[in-house]
A and B are shown apart, each in its own frame.
Chain A
Amino acid sequence: MLIQSVKKEAILIANDLHSVAVLLLLPIVFMVIMTLALSEKQSALVEKISISISGQQHTSRFDEFNYYVAHHGFNVVDNKTAQADVHITFEPQFDQALLLRQSDGQLRIEISDKLSPQIRTMVGELLKMSISKLKLHAYMDSMGSFDFVETLSEQAALVNQSADVDYLVTFSGNDTALTQPALFSIPSWMVFGIYFIVLPISITLINERQNGTLIRIRTYPITTTGYFINKALSYGLLSLLQWGLLSVIGLLVIPLILGQEPLAITNAPLYGVAGLFVVLSAISFAFLLASLVSTFDQAIVLGGGVNILMAALSGFMVPIDVMPDVMASIATFSPMYWAAEVMRQGLSGEQWLVALSNLFKLLVFSVVCFCAALFIFNKKSRKLLWN
């Protein structure tokens, strides 16, 4: 019977374009869009930003600053170009202010509000670095460090060498592909897609209630609880298949398309168990919502709406570490967050003990949702009568 049930639900999903869209296309599109959007390297982003610099054009500091700004990768354009993203103006007292601090605000920077806040911040930080180098350059110049160096590029090389701090620092924990911004969100979008199984489940339950199929089934030698569990198992198997497909696409295909290393599964058993628990929680939650709704409109609004809100709260759309503390702490109570975290733990090779907390939370959430869903389903089924 389970085989027939799985077959039936699979055919119903395959024949429903909306279901296919939300279960496969939606998460794949999200993964592709988000990874592509985040795959642009900083150097490529900087190259796109045009900067015009004006004022005190005949001083050496002006040329040196131009050099450092261009060296950071900015597109330095003619100062008469009004279309530039950033305008920098040297005020008359700049040279004196640079080392001696005789006056404030001698370098005016206007950044176009067409740039996003994140890019504006990045531009501001890079320009400050350019100014710091210019200041070091001026200091070294005053100290006679360039007495035997003639060209600006040679002087700048000396400045860069003096300002270099890379030799002091060793970064650790960023040696996996998952730490790349572009690929970090892939597990999140996989979870997002898996949780959207609420829509096909709702559609089938509503249809069965409305067209008399459920009444008919009540006269068969199977209890409503048995039927419900059978249905949940069927969708569970289909959801596991969906998880497998999304794993192949998200971990292998998309990184390859982006020219990056595939996301390796460092702790495969943990990743597999994580998948089981993610599916379990998604199915239980979906059945709870599907049992509550009575119409297709309700299913779309409640099922879709709750999932989108939960994804937003779970840090899928805005990283949790940039959220205010209150929101970040709310996120840690979200099942989608636990699900994405435990999948990342499997990918990054965390120990079982570390992942146990998320697995346990998902299990408790699943049991509570499933029991509530079963109770509501049975209650509603008992109310069904012959029309």
Chain B
Amino acid sequence: MAQACSTHPVSIDVNAIEFSYPSNDYNSLDGISLSILTGRCTGIIGPNGAGKSTLISALCGLLTPQRGDITYQGEPGVSIETMVKREVALIPQEYAFYPELTIQQNLDFFVALSEPKRSKRQAIVTQVLGQCQLVDVKNKKASKLSGGYKRRLNIAIALSKQPSIIFLDEPTVGIDPISRAQIIELLGQLKSEGKTLIYTSHMLSEVETLCDDVYLLNRGQAIGCSALDGDNSYLTIEFLADVDVATIALLTDNATVDQRGRVEIKIVNDAHFNLLLGRLSQAGDKVKQLHFSKNSLDHLYFSSYQDGAC
């Protein structure tokens, strides 16, 4: 079964999917299982070649896994393709619109692909222009817009489809910090409206700000899953000499030791933290340094790719 990071209802359930490109002798997706939760932002991160693009392509119905299955929440028996066409919008990293058309013309064209009624189309375009703060520049050619406005148009086109699930690929690449903040705020609003966002990016701070759940991929496998909205804290202890098993056992039963000999302990609650400090005082002569940190994606990312497991 898919791993679930939370108890929210599942939008997309991915169960042990495998996919291999004909030109490759390895699986680009190697038994991935995960759940995309409704109304939350799920980050999918990992180094280049980890399988992110292949996974998203499979989730969007652009390719069919050779094994395993993907289930969209909704009517049983409805194909992924149908669900995607009905519920999903994409925001690619590229400016996926027509630069020679104005913002209004771009929106008019794309909305006509999904909404046959003219009166509804006009209402949608008006709403989306306002939502993405594009009203003042709606008659400007897309090619003449700044990077920030182009990114917003990219998002506006996706919203004009009125999707419940939105896939985003690096939606803030190449823009200034103010525009980036505005886009992050806009995406936050979408989340609060109940939209399900699936977000891929190499900018971990952005993923951390926006995402509720994060899946870490490596070599076609989901090697980590974390609910970022939890209040997890960590205590990292560096000892003067190599620590022995007895000392670790003295501290707690959920301690892990990294390659540099540092002991990392997930703090469960305040009582646990106080208990740890008390025990540490007993081994005080061996401690070189203590480091206390809140749960951070950097921590999760680097520890996952170092250890190969969540």
Contact = CB atoms under 8 A, between A and B. Distances in A.
Nearest to A381: B62
A8 B100 CA distance: 9
Contact of B100 (A4, A16, A211, A387): A16
A174 interface: no
Interface in B90-130: 90, 92-98, 100-101, 105, 108-110, 112-114, 116
Contacts of B61: 219
Contacts of B56: 386
Contact of B108 (A4, A212, A385): A4
A221 B85 contact: yes
Contacts of B54: 385
B105 A11 contact: yes
A386 B161 contact: no
A298 B158 CA distance: 31
B167 to A, nearest CB: 7
A218 interface: yes
Contacts, number: 90
Contacts of B63: 385
Contacts of B53: 385-387
Contacts of A207: 98
Contacts of B36: none
B16 interface: no
B92 A221 contact: no
B14 interface: no
Contacts of B85: 219-221
Nearest to B59: A386
B101 A213 contact: no
Contacts of A8: 98, 101, 105, 109
B57 A386 contact: yes
Contact of B62 (A12, A211, A213, A384): A384
A339 B88 CA distance: 45
A221 B163 CA distance: 12
Interface string A216-249: 1111111000000000000000000000000000
Q: Size band of the A side of the interface?
A: 20 to 34
Contacts of A210: 94
A215 B97 CA distance: 11
Contact of A211 (B57, B96, B108, B169): B96
Nearest to A207: B98
Given A15-B100, A16-B100, A220-B85, A386 B113 contact: no
A48 interface: no
B34 interface: no
A219 B109 contact: no
A380 to B, nearest CB: 13
A207 B98 CA distance: 9
Contacts of A222: 113
B60 interface: yes
A212 B62 contact: no
B84 interface: yes
A93 interface: no
A5 interface: yes
A219 B169 contact: no
B157 interface: yes
A16 B98 CA distance: 12
B108 A386 contact: no
A16 B116 CA distance: 29
B62 A215 contact: yes
A37 interface: no
B113 A217 contact: yes
Nearest to A210: B94
A5 B95 contact: no
Nearest to B161: A220
B90 A213 contact: no
A215 B90 contact: yes
A379 interface: no
A128 interface: no
B67 interface: no
B169 A213 contact: no
Contacts of A211: 92, 94-97
A7 interface: yes
B116 A1 contact: yes
Contacts of B299: none
B57 to A, nearest CB: 4
B32 interface: no
B161 A4 contact: no
Contact of A386 (B86, B92, B112): B92
A1 B118 CA distance: 10
Given A4-B109, A384-B62, 13 more contacts: A1-B113, A211-B95, A211-B97, A215-B92, A216-B96, A218-B62, A219-B60, A219-B89, A219-B90, A386-B92, A386-B169, A387-B53, A387-B93
> Sorted from nearest, which 5 A-B pairs have the closest CB atoms?
A212-B92, A212-B96, A15-B100, A4-B112, A385-B57
Interface of B: 53-54, 56-57, 60-63, 84-86, 88-90, 92-98, 100-101, 105, 108-110, 112-114, 116, 157-158, 161, 167, 169
12 contacts: A5-B109, A7-B109, A8-B101, A15-B100, A207-B98, A212-B90, A212-B93, A213-B97, A216-B110, A219-B85, A385-B54, A387-B93
